[in-house]
């Protein structure tokens, strides 16, 4: 079986490639700007807005599974429209599809969100992700949409780099104490996505950690894990800032967790544990 990772050069994409190839899956991956470092994967340049190129890559690779881990920010053509075209192609070819979405589809008004909660985005990015979810499942009901939250690793994520730069005083910024999410470790997320893909589940699934932490608390956890001075991390309130976005979005992933042998660890656990060094029993 060939697995195709859309957005393989990204943070999550790279971990999906690592785990898929470790499981002896033939793996191909796409990139928009430059290929990733994984030599085990066959790399294909792909602009998701190019319908002809998308069809060509899907035909050449002939995958049995496609995981869309791409990120186009608030670009409507990439984030909203392109996943729908991908789903149409996957449906036509009878390919298993997992589309990765985000907790940005919610406003935070309800705070706690399970899979039955209806999207009510308040940012352009959230609106694009919500449109993609709706479109993907409309054209391919057998697809699986996995909403997740802040993705953390062992030093490679944007959130971790921010904490290091703030602690070093090389970057201006604030870690909000009133902005809550449910972070997930990239290794857990990738393992869960691959496990879900191996079954026949479809529709919306939440795949996030069980701990709701503020961005500041997450920063403190990362700083302590990495031997940084957490007292140097600047704090503030998102409510007092000009930045748009939800204040408190907590994905309830319990229904998905019951389906999985992979454990979705909380931030307080994976930030206190030794740095992740390879597949383990929790996968």
- pLDDT tens by residue, 147-193: 999 999 999 899 999 999 999 999 999 999 999 999 999 999 999 99
Q: Are 75 and 51 in contact (CB under 8 A)?
A: no
Please tell me the pTM assigned to this model.
Answer: 0.94
- pLDDT score recorded for residue 275: 54
Alpha-carbon separation of residue 64 from 3, 98, 161 (angstroms): 6, 11, 35
The first and second tokens of residue 228, run together, are 């940084």
Say which residue, 253 or 283, is predicted with more confidence. 253
Alpha-carbon separation of residue 235 from 62, 173, 214, 226 (angstroms): 49, 9, 11, 19
Q: Assess whether pLDDT exceeds 60 at residue 277.
A: no
Report the C-alpha gap between 1 and 105 in whole angstroms: 32
Report the C-alpha gap between 232 and 2 in whole angstroms: 47
Strand 96-102, strand 65-68: pairing: parallel
Report the C-alpha gap between 163 and 122 in whole angstroms: 26
Report the C-alpha gap between 231 and 83 in whole angstroms: 42
Question: Nearest-CA neighbor of 164 among 224, 238, 237?
Answer: 224
Q: Assess whether pLDDT exceeds 90 at residue 98.
A: yes
């Amino acid at each position: 079986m060939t697995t195709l990772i859309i957005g393989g050069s990204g943070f999550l994409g790279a971990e999906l490639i690592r785990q898929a190839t470790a499981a002896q899956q033939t793996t191909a991956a796409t990139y928009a700007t430059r290929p990733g470092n994984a030599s085990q994967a066959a790399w294909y340049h792909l602009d998701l807005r190019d319908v002809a190129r998308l069809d060509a890559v899907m035909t050449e690779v002939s995958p049995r599974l496609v995981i869309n881990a791409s990120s186009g920010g608030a670009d409507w053509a990439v984030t909203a429209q392109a996943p729908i075209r991908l789903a149409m192609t996957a449906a036509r070819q009878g390919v298993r599809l997992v589309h990765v979405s985000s907790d940005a589809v919610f406003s935070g008004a309800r705070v706690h969100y399970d899979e039955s909660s209806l999207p009510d985005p308040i940012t352009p990015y959230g609106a694009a992700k919500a449109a993609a979810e709706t479109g993907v499942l409309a054209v391919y009901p057998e697809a699986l949409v996995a909403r997740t939250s802040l993705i953390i690793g062992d030093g490679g994520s944007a959130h971790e780099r921010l904490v290091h730069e703030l602690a070093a005083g090389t970057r201006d910024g604030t870690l909000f104490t009133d902005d809550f999410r449910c972070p997930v470790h990239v290794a857990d997320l990738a393992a869960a996505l691959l496990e879900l893909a191996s079954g026949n589940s479809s529709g919306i699934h939440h795949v996030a950690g069980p701990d709701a932490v503020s961005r500041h608390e997450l920063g403190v956890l990362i700083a302590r894990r990495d031997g940084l001075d957490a007292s140097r991390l600047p704090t503030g309130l998102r409510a007092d800032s000009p930045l748009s976005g939800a204040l408190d979005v907590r994905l309830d992933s319990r229904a998905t967790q019951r389906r999985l042998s992979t454990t979705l660890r909380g931030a307080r656990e994976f930030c206190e544990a030794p740095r992740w060094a390879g597949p383990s029993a929790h996968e």
